[in-house]
Structure 1
Amino acid sequence: MTTTAAAVLAVTDETFEAEVLRHDGPVLIDFWAQWCPPCHMIAPVLAEIAAERAGDLTIREINSDENPRTARDLQVMSLPTLVLFRDGERVAQWVGARPKARLLAELDAALNP
């Protein structure tokens, strides 16, 4: 679901390791699918956060239907699922759409324990 902001780029099964696991710093990956209404609800929130936190946080999206291997490997069972990585390590995971303020608070808590 490529959003209107260019700041949220798509990754695939083939590019996940390079774009997320080998990325320096924090990366939030959004697992989504076209048929998922809550996925469409959170997309603009992620685009706003990507623009506001550019340089501090990278946000990527992956279509779970088109890239089932990564979703399977990370045991993603529901959509949307947001997984936060820092320097290739999973540090937090959230399931479901959420308001921007709540997501920012959760991100800050996970990144600044």
Structure 2
Amino acid sequence: MSSSPFAPLVRLVNAAVSALAKAPVVGRFVSRGITEITYVGRRTGRTFRTPVGYRRSGDDVLIGVEFPDAKTWWRNFLGDGGPLTLTLDGTDRTGHAVTTRDGQGRVSVRVRLDA
């Protein structure tokens, strides 16, 4: 995978968003729509963590992928999908994620949380 010239900036922004979501005062507000996911790369076998925006309804979580062609993480969940961990309400929750792309190119990742 080739590295984008924006990769250092993306890493900085991701670190800042993750820190805000964990901050004592503002964290509870930020984490209402942002969570951190942890997953194992399908090709590398490495563990990755990245912040994402999400919407939750019970045990279902929907992650909309903005600018999907500039990102690769969501490809780990194509086809039959795969496991991931989300931090929700300060607790790590596991689930199974599946990526879909609609006719207009929009990408979403649906996660069914484990019991």
The answer to whether TM tops 0.5 is no
Which structure would you say has the larger Rg?
2
Higher RCO structure (Cα 8 Å, ≥6 apart): 1
**Structure with the higher fraction of residues in strand conformation:** 2
**Structure with the higher fraction of residues in helix conformation:** 1
TM-score by length of 1: 0.30
TM-score by length of 2: 0.29
